[in-house]
Amino acid sequence: MTDSIIQARNMSSCIGKHNILKEISFDIPRQSLTSVLGPSGSGKTTLLQTIAGFQPICQGELLINDVVVSRRNQTVAPDRRNVGMVFQDHALFPHLSVLENIKTALRSRRANAAQLDRLVEKLHLGHLQHRHPHELSGGQQQRTALARALIARPEIILLDEPFANLNQDLQIEVGIELVDILREQKTTAIMVTHDQNDAMAISDYIIMLSQGRHIQSGTPQALYHQPATREVASFLSRGSFIRARYLGRHKADTPLGTVDIELAQGSQPGTGDELDIWLHPEDILIDTSGHEVNIIHQSWRPLDLLVKVRTANDEELLVKADQQPELIQAGSLQVRLNNNTSYSAFT
């Protein structure tokens, strides 16, 4: 058995004559929390439905535990895949209480009372267990559906926007608890989320889709620091592109100095050709011996002060200014690029 629990091989999923997923291939590591990211309409929910067995494929194949479960004109039924799914609309039974809804998943499986109580408390449902769905907020309904899926202890659980109805504090808390539960149960989770911060914070692995195509997958750190495309770079993190000129030997000249670069896949510039280099806010260091830029906007969040600046050649960049917040009062800054990193460059 491989270390990948799910494998897609040249897989397409079609509705009528319209291809939703287009010849995608990827491996999902066993016992990982994998996030599926991409713009609206990129095929994220269709991918979950395909893995669950609710959406057929029209090309290629899908394997779970090295067994083909979907190919054209052949599919293993959803109830034979040991896959649980938490739908975005929750799908709770309206006539049952929170606790009764959760227990419906136990009719064909065993879980002792201690496991049930622990799951209810970890998902902050203890004081709500006798209420009915119409008495719950959207976030409370969401956590109830999540508990119902987890108590069945499936080998794979699919989560469609599991934090969409939670406030920011509860997103963080429930996210941490969810990771603990998944690790304890040794469950593989695949999560669709519109929130890149959620995905980067708790995921082991990320799959990026765009217009139904797989454009990159890997660890959050790999996608953050080595994006394969401009779309991945700008989707996963705040930052800025800066124009540069290729000097050869993986070096480029920018308005803020010469830097080392990693050329994106497919980029083959010649010496002197123009490039776009992706800069994270933390890559630009405030330094009184650096290049002068003009401050045009400030955006403050707790522990995170971003300043938008304009360079001498009219390029706008984001700078993480909480390094030295007292220096931003004058309307201009001196900055330089961090020379201890290698930047992603795109032709």
For the segment 198-221, what is each residue's pLDDT rounded down to a tens digit?
788 889 999 999 999 999 999 999
User: Tell me, what's the pLDDT at 325?
Assistant: 59
Q: To the nearest whole number, what is the mean pLDDT of the chain? A: 88
| CATH number for the segment(s) 4-227 | 3.40.50.300
Ranges in the chain annotated CATH 3.40.50.300: 4-227
Lowest-confidence region among 95-104, 162-171, 275-284: 162-171
With a cut of 90, say whether residue 163 has pLDDT above it: no
With a cut of 60, say whether residue 323 has pLDDT above it: no
Cα–Cα distance, 220 to 224 (Å, whole number): 6
Q: Percent of the chain at pLDDT above 90?
A: 55
For the segment 221-250, what is each residue's pLDDT rounded down to a tens digit?
999 999 999 999 999 988 999 999 999 989
Q: Considering the entire predicted model, what is its pTM?
A: 0.86
| 336 — pLDDT class (breaks 50, 70, 90) | very high
Cα–Cα distance, 205 to 336 (Å, whole number): 32
User: Tell me, what's the pLDDT at 158?
Assistant: 95
User: Tell me, what's the pLDDT at 51?
Assistant: 96
Write the DSSP string, 29-73.
ETT-EEEEE-STTSSHHHHHHHHHTSS--SEEEEEETTEEEEETT
Mean pLDDT value of segment 78-91: 86
User: Tell me, what's the pLDDT at 104?
Assistant: 86
Provide the residue type at 327 as one letter: L
With a cut of 60, say whether residue 333 has pLDDT above it: yes
With a cut of 70, say whether residue 302 has pLDDT above it: no
User: Tell me, what's the pLDDT at 17?
Assistant: 78
Q: Percent of the chain at pLDDT above 70?
A: 95
Q: How many CA atoms lie within 13 A of 256 on its CB side?
A: 30
User: Tell me, what's the pLDDT at 119?
Assistant: 87
| 275 — pLDDT class (breaks 50, 70, 90) | very high
